[in-house]
Amino acid sequence: MSCKELMKVLGLGAVAFVLGVEWLNWLKRRLRDSRGPLKEVLFFPSPQVCVEHLFIRHKHFPCACPLPHGVETSFSRLLVHLLSARVSLDLCVFSFSHMELSRAILLLHKQGVVVRVVTDRDYMTITGSQIGALRKAGICVRHEMSSAVHMHHKFALVDSRKLITGSLNWTLTAVQSNKENVMVTEEPELVGPYQQEFQKLWEANDPANHKPQYTNGQLNIKTCKDK
């Protein structure tokens, strides 16, 4: 076979490979569409397993930690959904002290995902809260400005199309000890109202719309403006 013929065969092979990949992707989309929008329910408490592979995909496994490996749990599924964000993550959470969930949010921020967080003014300052770590990394966080009510929501919006919501606070106790539930869906009829609620809270708690509050001459809590 001549060099010219070989190049032609290789070219045709490359085209066939690309077409094959495109066909498989098309087939996956059709199968997903035939099942309708994503609907998944997760229940807690969740057993402790290794989730390192979700953060470092290129690392050789199993890792050296003593936790079970290769086991899918409600918590690992929650991480998978959160880490699927490619463009944006809007998070509304009452209590946030879980280290691995914080690690996931910080990783998304590092990857260029636009992260916005709305939280409770009282619980953001409790011992172990991860809100300070998020702010230190440059993530924009706003808290409920009113001292008369709690921001008690627990939901996240992934890329403005996937809703994660339920009773779960983002704490170790909630994940490992409490009876909790989380629903994950891409139903537009459900995602839409949560998008509106998040935007309403985001705008209502814009520090530019509120006078700084002082106690004994000191500003109570730092707030974040839009970048």
Cα–Cα distances in Å, from 14 out to 2, 28, 146? 18, 21, 61
226 is catalytic: no
| Residue of 81, 143, 153, 154 marked active site | 154
154 is catalytic: yes
**Which amino acid appears at position 189 of this protein?**
E
| Residue of 8, 28, 39, 152 marked active site | 152
| Residue of 53, 69, 109, 159 marked active site | 159
Q: List residues with catalytic annotation.
A: 152, 154, 159
